[in-house]
Amino acid sequence: MRRFMAFLTGSLCGALVGAVAALLLAPYSGDELRQRTRERLDSFRDDVREAYDARREQLESELEALRRPRSS
């Protein structure tokens, strides 16, 4: 139990030091950082949707080909 508490305390202290360092060393202001993050997330979401739509279209065409009766 003592080792676990030491690990937990160290983890929390490390997280706190990391958060403070990130805030002090951030190259952008908070508003600008949030805007850039939002833009990147929106771009990522759009990329995922495009990939999903392309894959879905491909799978639907393959399924249609499999459903067509085979000529003997």
Distance (Å, rounded) from C-alpha 33 to C-alpha 39? 10
pLDDT of 53: 97
Q: Which pTM value belongs to this model? A: 0.54
Average pLDDT over every residue of 4-33: 90
pLDDT of 70: 81
pLDDT in tens, 27-66: 888 789 889 989 999 999 999 999 999 999 999 999 999 9
pLDDT of 42: 97
Q: How far is CA 53 from the centre of its chain?
A: 18
- 26 with 33: CB under 8 angstroms? yes
Distance (Å, rounded) from C-alpha 19 to C-alpha 32? 18
pLDDT of 30: 79
Distance (Å, rounded) from C-alpha 41 to C-alpha 49? 12
